Every structure is written in C-alpha cells, then in structure tokens.
Amino acid sequence: MKALRTIRNVVVSFAILIAIWQLAFTFCHFSEALFPSPARAMKALVETFQSGAMIKHIGTSMYRFAIGYVSAVVIAALLGLILGVLPKVFQFVNPIAQLLRPISPMAWAPFIVLWFGIGDVPAIVVVFIAAFFPVLLSTVAAVNNIDPIYFKVSQNFGVKQPSITWKVIFPAAFPQIASGAHLALGSAWVFLAAGEMNGVQSGLGYMIVDARNNLRTDVLLATIVVIGALGLALDGLLRLIEKTTLKAWGGGEA
Amino acid sequence: MSYIEIKNATKTFETNGTTFTAFQNVNLTIERGEFVCILGASGCGKSTLLNAMAGFGLVTKGSVKIDGVEVSKPTPKRATIFQNYGLLPWRNVLRNVEFGLEGIKTPKSERRAIAERYVDLVGLSAFKKTYPRQLSGGMQQRVSIARALAVDPEVLFMDEPFGALDAITRAKLQDDVRRLSQTEKKTIVFVTHDMAEAVYLADRIVIMSPNPGRVKAIVPVPLQGERNRIGKDFLDFQNEIFDLFHKSPDDLVEYFI
Ligand SMILES: Nc1ncnc2c1ncn2[C@@H]1O[C@H](COP(=O)(O)OP(=O)(O)OP(=O)(O)O)[C@@H](O)[C@H]1O
Ligand SMILES: [Mg+2]
C-alpha cells in the first residue's frame, strides 16, 4: 500500500515536470533546435536506444563507475579502519585529507589525462577521487564513535588485535561506513559524467559533449534524463543493499 | 591471606590540572566464593573501585591484590558485567556468548556446545538465534551473564547490572544471580545503590560514603537460607542498613571487621 502510494507520487511529480516543460516549450518561442519539446526528447531517447548507442554508452559508463566507486569504497574503508585504530597517524593524515577533500575531482582532470592518458582510466580516477574522501573520513569518524564498552568487553575476554579489528571495530563501524558510502555514491555519479567529457570517446559524458558538438539538443536532453534515472536507480539499489546488510548486522531496524 | 585484598587504596583523577579523589584509603578483603555488595549513593566511587578490582582502571595509591597478585589489567578469569550489557548487536545470542570463548581460545568445535549450555542455563533456549535488539533489557543482561559464565571465571564483577530494569524483571534476575552464585560457586562483587537488592543478595554489604568516596561500614548479612523480601527479619535488617547510611562515620567503628 505504501509502495503504491510512493509510485503514485513519483508518477504525479514527473507528470507535473513534463507538463511544465511542455508549457514552457509552447509559450516561449524558442527554436526547437535550442529547446526541444518533451516529445522530441522522448523520440531521441527511443532512437538512441534502438540504434544501440545508448546501451553501449551506458554499459561503458557503468563499467567505469563500478570500478572507480567500488575500489574507492574498499580502499578508503580499509585505510579508514587503519587510521581510526591509529589516531596518532591520523593526526598527520587528517590535515592532508582536509586539504584535498574540498578540491573538485575535475580540477585534477588535466593531470589525470596527462598521467593516465586517454581511455577508461581518467574517468575511473575521477570517480575514485570523488568517492574516496567521503568514505575515508566517515570511516575514521565511525571508528572513533564506537562505544568504548565494546573495547572493555574485548579486553576482558582477551580478544586482541588483529581479531578485534574484524570482530569488533569493523562490524561496529559498519553502519556508519555504509552511510558514508551511500553519500559518496551520489557525488561519484555526478562526477562520472563530468569525467567522461575529457579524454574519452564513449560513455554518457561523452554523449553529452558529442550531442552538443552536433547541436542535437534532443539527444543531449535524452542523455541527461538517462543520467538522472540511472543515478536514482543506483541510489535505490544501494539503499536496498544497505537495508538488507544492516538487517543481517543487527537483526532489524534500531 | 584473603582472595581479594584491597589495602589503603586511593584513586585520583587528574582533569585539566585539578585532582579529584574518587575514593580514599579503602581497605577491604573478600574471600573466595563470597557474595559482596558494594552499596552507596551515586558518585561515591563504587564503579571506580570495582574497575580497580577488574583491572579497567588501576588505583593511584595502595594495592589491590587478587589471589596474591597485584591487579594490572582485565583478564577472562574475572568477568565484568556492565549496566548496559555490552552485547555486540551484530551477533545473535549464541554468537555473543561465543565471543568470550573465542577470546580465551576455546577450540571452535567446543564453542557451540558450551555457548548452548550457558544460554540454556540463563533460560534463553528459545532465543539462541535472536539478535540483542529484539530482546528486552532483562534478557540482554541474561545473555551478558551467560557470556561471562561461559568462560568459567573465578570472579564476577557486576556494576549495577539490573539498574536499567523494571522492578519485576529485576527481582527475577536477582533470584537467578543468587541461585547461580550458589550452583556455580563464583566469587561475586556486585555494585548497587539499591538497599533491598544488597540485603537480598549479599553475604556482606560494603557501605560507601561520598566526598571523597570511602568505606563507611562493612556489614555481614545475618539472614540464613532462602531470603524472603517481605519477611520480618529481612525488613528489620534493611532498616538497620538504612540507619547506617545516616550515621556519622565515628559511630560506626563497631561494624568494621
Ligand atoms: N575517568 C574519570 N575522570 C574523572 N573523574 C571521574 C572518572 N571516572 C569517575 N570519575 C568521578 O569519580 C566519582 C566517582 O565515580 P563512580 O563512577 O565511581 O561513582 P559511582 O559510585 O559508581 O556512581 P553511580 O552510582 O552514579 O554509578 C564521580 O564524581 C565521577 O565524576
Ligand atoms: Mg557507577
């Protein structure tokens, strides 16, 4: 019942969005080449899917995203666990992380292309950077937030390092690591498309650049819609994974 | 020589320049197999004293010896039970009890059977696969007791273990702990600020007073056999303990042993 209502709300809100779009198109007399109607964009969407181009670019983008995002989460979480356990080391790493974190991954793009050439790697690196810092910092914070009683109990029963890291610290920090990873997913996805605008000839970001160069604003909008929809779907997927793993983690909601 | 010997023990905390005395010149001996309750108002240093015995925070002056050896750190030979249980929420009941066994390196093949036995002992047979979050506070504390007993410690240190429970659950768990103390033959040091609880459970009651924390009196409980919470001798003795709280330390010499 609740799911049904959610679906209804989503349909209604999208219908409103499309209606506004259609109204804007009807009453503002832009040329259709500059501002495509919903129907044109929809037609372009269908065409790009039928020609197979869209599927191919989605596949490429997803491949880059998966590699960049998953490796960032794994490496940042491991590093975060280590730094969380070693606060003295983190004191030195933290200023560096704080300095690097606010720099847009795109600022590195010229270097990335210089160092990693063209192809899949630059986009993967951009996604990696975008996801890395949020996960690293939320993991360290998660470890620092662990209830000291878990350490007392471990100490009492003689559970020592390294067991304590994977028996206590990781599981205790896991929910907060997962929510950090979830937040990072959004920003990594945002930067994927941006990362694909340099040094590659494929992917959704490339499709946008290509559509612009060919003045195909309808294809451009169709691509934007796909990027949005995929971002939403990935978010939903991660939410689902998060929910099921957290369930295994503590037997249900808090 | 007594099993636990605390001599002239003082514990101070340094917090940004100022020294705070949590307890001072505490002398206390506890025999093997005894059930001792430490009774006192909030802030009089009960937990700090218990932690000094359990090895979580050592005394600043004096000495705390168990079995002739100065306490230096916690050991599985002496299990502590905390007011907020300290269960691992990502492990079910059995796996929580197994956690202690993993710590003392019990072979994997034996852990499950031992854990099952102690979960049965605390009456949670039907909840072996349940996660802590789905259990009531009383049940969670039973799990933590099972986890402690499973490693077969010599001593149980309990810090207001039933403080967060309702009166009915509390009474039930008091019965269980009393029964366990007799069948399992453990030395138990039990911190509480509930007089009736101390009178119901203890062989001896250590009364502490605050500012700074010190031992005001040590009183053996004269009740024999099954204790009746509403029996006349029980209530009379509880009144006696109540009076002790309000006496100045000078009147109390006769109670020291
Ligand atoms: N780590 C610490 N640093 C500084 N002061 C502390 C520390 N631990 C305890 N104290 C102080 O020592 C005093 C005694 O604390 P303790 O926890 O032993 O009291 P308690 O008798 O167990 O009280 P309660 O019944 O409230 O648990 C308190 O005033 C407390 O503020
Ligand atoms: Mg206390």
Q: What is the pLDDT of residues B134-165, one digit of tens each?
A: 999 999 999 999 999 999 999 999 999 998 88
Closest residue by Cα to atom 8, ligand 1, is B48
Q: CA–CA separation, A153 vs B157, rounded Å?
A: 12
Using alpha carbons, select from B132, B150, B154 the residue that is nearest to residue B141: B132
CA distance readout (Å), B136 to A148, B65, B130, B161? 22, 37, 11, 14
Largest CA distance in chain B: 58
Output DSSP code: residue B209: E
Read off the pTM.
0.85
Neighbouring residues of B200: CB distance < 8 A, sequence distance ≥ 6 = B174, B178, B227, B229, B234
Are A223 and A211 in contact by the 8 Å Cβ rule? The answer is: yes
> Coil, strand or helix: which one is B24?
strand
Which strands sit side by side in the sheet containing B4-15, from one edge to the other? B18-30, B4-15, B61-66, B69-70
Contact between chains at A167 and B76 (C-beta distance less than 8 A): no
Residues in A closer than 8 angstroms to B96, CB to CB, are none
Total residues found in chain B within this entry: 257
Closest ligand relative to B45 C-alpha: 1
Does any ligand 1 atom lie closer than 6 A to the CB of residue B43? yes
d(CA B49, CA B59): 8
pLDDT value at position B248? 65
Q: Are B81 and B96 in contact (CB under 8 A)?
A: no
Residue A253 is predicted with a pLDDT of 46
Decide if B71 contacts B47 (C-beta within 8 A).
Answer: no
Q: What is the DSSP code (8-state) at residue A15?
A: H
Q: What is B169-187 written as a DSSP string?
A: HHHHHHHHHHHHHHHTT-E
The residue of chain B with its CA nearest to that of A168 is: B88
Distance from CA of B90 to the nearest CA of A (A): 4
B5: CB partners within 8 A, 6+ apart? B29, B63, B64, B65, B66
**Residue B19 β-bridge partners:** B14
Ranges of chain B with pLDDT below 50: 254, 256-257
Give the integer Cα–Cα distance in Å for B35 and B176. Answer: 14
* Bond prior to A162 in cis (omega within 30° of 0): yes
In sequence order, which residues have a C-beta less than 8 Å from that of residue A49 and are 6 or more positions away? A55
**Cα A241 → chain centroid:** 14
* pLDDT, mean of each 10-residue run, chain A (254 residues): 83 90 84 82 91 93 96 96 92 92 88 86 93 95 95 95 92 92 93 87 92 90 92 92 81 49
Q: How far is CA B176 from CA A136, A224, B83, B173, B201, in A?
A: 46, 66, 16, 5, 10
Asked whether the beta carbons of residue A152 and residue B151 sit closer than 8 angstroms, the reply is: no
Closest by CA to B11, choosing from B77, B55, B58, is B58
Residues of A in contact with B74 (CB under 8 A): 152, 155-156
Min Cα distance A249 → chain B (Å) is 4
Identify all chain A residues contacting B118, using CB atoms and an 8 Å cutoff.
Answer: none
Whether the bond between B212 and the residue before it is cis, its omega within 30 degrees of 0, is yes
Contact B111, B44 (CB under 8 A): no
Q: How far is CA A140 from CA A94, A146, B44, in A?
A: 10, 10, 36
CA diameter of chain A: 76
Q: B126-137 as b/e, with b when 16 or more CB fall inside 10 Å?
A: ebbebbbeebeb
Residues 6+ apart with CB under 8 A from A60: A120, A202, A203
CB proximity list for A166: less than 8 A, separation 6 or greater = none
pLDDT of residue B2: 92
Q: What's residue B257's pLDDT?
A: 45
Which ligand places an atom closest to the C-alpha of B208? 1
Smallest CA–CA distance, residue B131 to chain A, in Å, is 5
- Mutation probe of ligand 1 site: the residue of B47, B49, B190, B215 with most atoms within 8 A of C-beta: B47
A247 close contact with B: CB closer than 8 A: no
ipTM of the complex as predicted: 0.89
Tell me if residue A150 falls in helix, strand or coil: helix
pLDDT, residue A192, reads 93
